[in-house]
């Protein structure tokens, strides 16, 4: 077996007395799209918050490409190649597409103590390309993200991760609050990850979305992984029995 791109070993997390993760171990190989399902409070969010640097585990290890990684902040996770697409969408509606693509990672012409002049020409050029790469056709990188549909906004967030060559995408219920048509678009983006050899962890309440786009289904309940099978070898009914 090849080395997993991301691996958790015995992760534990307590929140003021609640044992949210009880020794979760999970190894994901490069290019795999894993569907993570489970009820509210099953520990899905806790697990991905640890992987995306929002929270830290109380015990256990995270390994990225075999190397132990202590993910301290969201920025640190991004630097390690882990990009998270949040359900509330991490784009700023009052800013342009080009600026959104580079939020927090702006290319600078020069800088002093980390503050400097934006390379706006490069931002516009590269954002046009990044957007086209995810098959999103938008008229201008200067359009405000607030004018886009919900699915297009998720597309911008995914284009952002692609542009920064993220290795692992965590998609935290990216289809919430979207229409059927927009949802299909986002599922298309998820499938697109695979063709580019990018690993995905797709969290969703909707089993149909998971089976449409994932290679493997992992189910959590009460802070533990209770089910883990290739999507081709199982069915929605079987997964439901474990939840």
Partner 1 sequence: MKRFLKIYLEKPELAGAVLLVVLVVLFQLRSNGVFLSAENLRGMLGLLPEMGLVAIGVTVLMICGEFDLSVGSVFALMPMSVAIMLNADVPFAVAVLVGLAICALVGFINGFVTLRFAIPSFITTLGMLFMARSMTVVISGGFPPLLPADLPTWLFTRYVGPGGLIRMSFLWFGAIALLMAALLSLTNLGNWIKASGGFLEAAGAMGIPVNRVKITCFILSSMLAGFAGLVQVLRLGSPLPSIGDGLELQAVAAAVIGGTALTGGVGTVLGAIVGALLIRVIDNGLVLTQVDANWFKFAVGGLTIFAVIANSWLRRTARGIRVDQHA
CB neighbour list of residue 226: distance below 8 Å, 6 or more residues apart: 219, 220, 242, 243
Residue 142 Cβ, how far from partner 1 at the closest point, in Å?
9
Distance CA 179, CA 102 (A): 27
- In the structure encoding, which two tokens stand for residue 170, read together? 């965590």
Residue 115 Cβ, how far from partner 1 at the closest point, in Å?
5
If the CB atoms of residues 120 and 234 are measured against partner 1, the closer one turns out to be: 120
- Sign of the alpha-carbon dihedral angle for 12, 44, 27, 154: negative
- Other C-beta atoms closer than 10 Å to the C-beta of 14 total 13
The 3-class secondary structure across 43-68, one letter per residue, is CHHHHHHHHCCCCCCCEEEEEECCEE
Residue 199 Cβ, how far from partner 1 at the closest point, in Å?
20
If the CB atoms of residues 10 and 93 are measured against partner 1, the closer one turns out to be: 93
Residue 75 Cβ, how far from partner 1 at the closest point, in Å?
3
If the CB atoms of residues 95 and 221 are measured against partner 1, the closer one turns out to be: 95
If the CB atoms of residues 59 and 121 are measured against partner 1, the closer one turns out to be: 121
Distance CA 109, CA 224 (A): 48
Residue 172 Cβ, how far from partner 1 at the closest point, in Å?
10
Distance CA 231, CA 217 (A): 6
Where are the alpha helices (H) located in 62-218, listed in sequence order?
74-79, 97-101, 120-133, 150-163, 180-195, 207-213
| Residues facing 218 on adjacent strands | 36, 228
Residue 148 Cβ, how far from partner 1 at the closest point, in Å?
12
- In the structure encoding, which two tokens stand for residue 79, read together? 């630097």
- Other C-beta atoms closer than 10 Å to the C-beta of 63 total 16
If the CB atoms of residues 174 and 223 are measured against partner 1, the closer one turns out to be: 174
Residue 168 Cβ, how far from partner 1 at the closest point, in Å?
16
If the CB atoms of residues 106 and 126 are measured against partner 1, the closer one turns out to be: 106
Which residue ranges make up the site for partner 1 (CB under 8 A)? 54, 73-75, 78, 84, 86, 88-95, 99, 102-106, 108, 111, 114-118, 120, 139, 144, 147
If the CB atoms of residues 29 and 176 are measured against partner 1, the closer one turns out to be: 176
């Amino acid at each position: 077996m090849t080395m997993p791109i991301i691996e958790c070993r015995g992760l534990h997390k307590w929140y003021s007395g609640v044992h949210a993760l009880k020794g979760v171990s999970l190894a994901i190989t490069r290019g795999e799209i894993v569907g993570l399902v489970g009820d509210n409070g099953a520990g899905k969010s806790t697990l991905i918050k640890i992987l995306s640097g929002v929270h830290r585990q109380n015990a256990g290890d995270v390994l990225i490409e075999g190397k132990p990684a202590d993910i301290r902040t969201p920025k640190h996770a991004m630097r390690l190649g882990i990009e998270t697409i949040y359900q509330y969408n991490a784009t700023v509606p009052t800013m342009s597409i080009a600026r959104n693509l580079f939020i927090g990672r702006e290319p600078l012409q020069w800088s002093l103590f980390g503050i400097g002049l934006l390379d706006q020409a490069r931002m516009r050029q590269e954002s046009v390309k990044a957007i086209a790469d995810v098959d999103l056709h938008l008229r201008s990188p200067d359009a405000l993200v607030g004018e886009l549909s919900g699915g297009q906004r998720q597309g911008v967030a995914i284009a952002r991760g692609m542009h920064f060559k993220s290795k692992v995408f965590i998609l935290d219920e990216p289809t919430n609050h979207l229409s059927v048509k927009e949802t299909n678009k986002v599922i298309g983006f998820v499938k697109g990850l695979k063709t580019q050899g990018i690993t995905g962890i797709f969290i969703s309440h909707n089993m149909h979305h998971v089976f449409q786009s994932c290679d493997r289904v992992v189910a959590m309940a009460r802070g533990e992984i209770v089910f883990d099978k290739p999507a081709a070898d199982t069915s929605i009914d079987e997964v439901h029995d474990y939840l």
